[in-house]
Structure 1
């Protein structure tokens, strides 16, 4: 009955999947139940039996059996454990960090703060961490690859420029047509009737008959 009550306080572990990329920092969530937290353990089933990711007790981390790949790369979110948040921060993730992480807590009611004992507890949080390389489309364009967002922006800019050029050409042609239609026709150098008005009366008389031979 006591064991059942303790497991109820700790709550059942719920598996969670998290996907990150190499070089990221990730937080693995875990929250303890009620009671004074005597010890916190984060481990991975694929490690050696006595190795762990992080073991925290008496206000500090114990590095004795910590796996060397996690040294100086892991810490608790709240080292004071005031908000019952025993989540783990894993820095600078590598491909080797992929795997299953289990969180266990020893509360004051159990009087267990030795790792050999806390390791027998059921995990209150189980997280499957997956590490995937960043897709080539997300790389920096300076490296020779454009993301889809950058490609879309370039295409949009090119489209706007083409539309502007077409609009300028159409406006120019329209103005040219209007200018040609509004220009009056050039005046004739000898308008009809002007020559008749300027002719003298003598030029209108018939020529005299030439004398007979």
Structure 2
């Protein structure tokens, strides 16, 4: 039972971290991203399969919209524009099927200002990758979310427990039949002795 509880705990932690998200068209969704360390000088949310790939580009304490992909103009904002406590989570508004895919949160942190802007961008590190799936309501096919996975695992464990208990009961019955006295007859015989 302890390994099962550990697995359930780990899965619930992974679910809260949300690397895979399923939403419906028209929903707003928050793509979580956090970084610890010194001040963030550059933040870039990208969708690698797009051209241009920029979903959001933040530098110099403001959003840079010049190279932002047109599908995300007016649809994205940061949870915290000041990036306090390393929160770089992105809110994507009014999603549609064109927003399906992989998103990456990339940052450059530090205090050095002597490097050129191109160097700032090339030194970004990916700290979060999230897969977003936008599905029509009612079209979910099975276990696609972490919650569904947990429910499926719990159901699987319950089935195994039922099968194991049934197997033990069958084993005891066969064992009692071999000894010459059925399990129910043994209980009746002991009850007759007390009368």
- Scaled by the length of structure 2, the TM-score of the pair is 0.57
* Equivalences, count: 123
Going from structure 1 to structure 2, the CA distance change for 1:121 and 1:110 (only over 3 Å counts) comes to: farther
What is the correspondence of 1:1-213 to structure 2 with a 5 Å cutoff? Answer: 16-48=19-51, 50-109=52-111, 111=113, 114=117, 117-135=120-138
Secondary structure of the corresponding residue to residue 22 of structure 2: strand
| Structure 1 stretches lacking a partner, 5+ long | 1-13, 137-213
Secondary structure of 1:83's aligned partner? helix
CA distance in 1 between counterparts of 2:83 and 2:107 reads 11
- Distance between the aligned counterparts of 1:15 and 1:56, measured in 2? 23
Displacement, 1:114? 3.4
Q: Report the TM-score when normalising by structure 1.
A: 0.52
SS class of match (2:136): coil
How has the CA–CA distance of structure 1 residues 34 and 22 changed in structure 2, closer, same or farther, with 3 Å as cutoff?
same
Contact 1:104 1:118 in 2 (8 A): no
Q: Give, in whole Å, the separation in 2 of the partners of 1:113 and 1:19.
A: 39
CA contact (8 A) 1:15 1:125 kept: no
> Unpaired segments of 5 or more residues in structure 2?
1-16, 140-195
Task: Name which one, 1 or 2, has greater alpha-carbon Rg.
Answer: 1
Runs (4+) of structure 1 exceeding 2 A deviation are: 109-122
For the 8 Å contact 2:41–2:111, the answer to whether it is kept is no
Is the helix fraction higher in 1 or 2?
A: 2
Change in CA separation of 1:37 and 1:122 when aligned onto 2, cut-off 3 Å: closer
Counterpart of 1:118 in 2: which secondary structure? helix
Shift of 1:109: 4.6
